[in-house]
A and B are shown apart, each in its own frame.
Chain A
């Protein structure tokens, strides 16, 4: 193993972050603001989120910001536009950071994707969609990544309480049928003991009867116990598997 790898970056090209930010502003002076500085970091505000992919492509190819560190979203609850997207860029060649901010209003609720520029944006944008509800146009696979598919809320919004709200528990945390689901080698969850759950004793035609019986038993239990405990009770709304 050699000390100097294929790309040696410990010798950085000398250019300041301010020069890079100003050259980006010069290229897009109609939408990019002047660089604002706080604690040694530069932030550029972009007034039109639709121009983001173009600006990011220029930042990557011409200015050398080849590493997208992070994409974040902020909920400015009560302000309009409601959401702010924050992009953190870094360049390995020059070792400088840059922050881009763009606003997305609640009515529009979407922004163009930058996965064409950096492929790491894929999961970051999925997480923003999951947590904040901002859609990304052109994203290859925009679906929830942290909460289960079918979760109805966007948790990081300011009007969503920390303790959460009632929702249906996940059937399977996977929107397509699970592998081998319902097949001859799969147990039925929630049977009263191992013998009844054992796949060998199952007769597939009577599965429906068994499922209904189980659902009724659960309804009885829920009635006896009263309101379920805490947000999102696990057995609420379970339907019999198909």
Chain B
């Protein structure tokens, strides 16, 4: 069952009440407050910090709460090179995140291993995590990270929430 992507004014009751689908409402809440878990490993972490700073303000998109606690976050932004030694820790932290969760692979190293085709580098974090959005760049500009966040928001908006609930219950 596919959710309606927009909150629609199906009918106006008593002035300020909006009637819409449950899917659309829940996804709207979720997508506008995606709290990132910054898995800042290498140089892309600096661009991640720059996105959180005042010039590129990720707070405009509701994502300024960069909690380093996986329990409290929604999206894990893997920023930087994932080595085999670190991959275990990344997977562990991803497992500790509560559903629903998404993953953004930021930068060339997280997407495919980047320019490090060597014995110690995991060739892409999608070997161990299901990635939702890949960002190209070395490092990607903060605008690219914000663009990826918007793409993720569009993806979240289309998720069929109720179907997930039925599966778990």
Please give the residue numbers on chain A whose beta carbons come within 8 Å of chain B beta carbons, in ascending order. Answer: 147-148, 153, 155, 160-165, 169-173, 187, 189-191, 193-195, 197, 229-234
Please give the residue numbers on chain B whose beta carbons come within 8 Å of chain A beta carbons, in ascending order. Answer: 84-85, 87-89, 91-92, 95-99, 117-120, 122-123, 127-128, 168
Chain B residues within an 8 Å CB radius of A171: 88
Chain B residues within an 8 Å CB radius of A165: 119
Smallest Cβ-Cβ distance to B127: which chain A residue: A229
| A147 partner, pick from B85, B88, B123, beta carbons under 8 A | B85
Which interface residue of B95, B98, B123 has the most chain A CB atoms within 10 A?
Answer: B95
Chain B residues within an 8 Å CB radius of A232: 84
25 A–B contacts, CB within 8 A, in A order: A147-B85, A155-B120, A161-B119, A162-B117, A163-B118, A164-B118, A164-B119, A165-B119, A169-B88, A171-B88, A173-B85, A187-B92, A187-B95, A189-B91, A189-B92, A190-B91, A193-B168, A194-B97, A194-B99, A229-B127, A230-B127, A233-B127, A234-B88, A234-B91, A234-B122
Chain B residues within an 8 Å CB radius of A190: 91, 95
| A229 partner, pick from B92, B98, B119, B123, beta carbons under 8 A | B123
Give the Cβ gap from B70 to chain A, nearest Cβ, in Å: 10
| A191 partner, pick from B89, B95, B128, beta carbons under 8 A | B95
Smallest Cβ-Cβ distance to A229: which chain B residue: B127
Tell whether, in the assembled complex, residue A148 and residue B85 are in contact, meaning their CB atoms are under 8 Å apart: yes
CA distance A114 to B85 in the complex (A): 29
**Can you add 10 more A-B contacts, CB < 8 Å, to A163-B117, A230-B122?**
A148-B85, A155-B119, A160-B119, A169-B84, A173-B89, A189-B95, A190-B91, A197-B95, A229-B127, A234-B122
Of all A-B residue pairs in the complex, the 8 with the closest CB atoms, nearest first, are: A164-B119, A189-B95, A230-B123, A189-B92, A148-B85, A173-B85, A234-B128, A232-B84
Tell whether, in the assembled complex, residue A163 and residue B119 are in contact, meaning their CB atoms are under 8 Å apart: yes
Which interface residue of B87, B88, B96, B123 has the most chain A CB atoms within 10 A?
Answer: B88
Give the Cβ gap from A225 to chain B, nearest Cβ, in Å: 11
Chain A residues within an 8 Å CB radius of B88: 169-173, 234
Chain A residues within an 8 Å CB radius of B91: 189-190, 234
Known contacts A187-B95, A190-B95: does B119 contact A162 (CB below 8 Å)? yes
Chain B residues within an 8 Å CB radius of A170: 84-85, 88
CA distance A234 to B90 in the complex (A): 11
Smallest Cβ-Cβ distance to A190: which chain B residue: B95
Known contacts A187-B95, A195-B168: does B118 contact A162 (CB below 8 Å)? yes
Chain B residues within an 8 Å CB radius of A197: 95-96
